[in-house]
Amino acid sequence: MPRIAGIATKKNTKGEITHVTINVEKHREVITPMLYELGVIVKTKFQKECESAITLEDFRKKMHGRINKVWKK
């Protein structure tokens, strides 16, 4: 198995991998979602609220609609 920078493994006497150490700074984009899924990192109330928030593009469309509606009056 090729070596990957930022990842170290430990094997038992049988040669089976028992521990994996991953440098989160180097592999943040891949590891962070997995840590949330495993429950190692818990999402804050703010993060949970942001997941259900309106997107910027949807906000722009709604605001343009409101502005156009008021402007035509």
Question: Which ranges of the chain would DSSP assign to H, the alpha helix?
Answer: 28-38, 45-51, 56-72
pLDDT tens, 10-33? Answer: 999 999 999 989 888 888 898 888
Question: What is the radius of gyration, based on Cα positions, of the chain?
Answer: 23
pLDDT above 90: residue 1: no
d(CA 29, CA 63) in angstroms, rounded, equals 33
Strand 17-22 versus strand 7-11 pairing type: antiparallel
Mean pLDDT of 27-40: 88
| Closest-CA residue to 36 (of 55, 51, 26, 21) | 51
User: Above 80 in pLDDT, residue 73?
Assistant: no
The per-residue pLDDT for range 42-69, each reduced to its tens digit, is 888 998 888 888 999 999 999 999 999 8
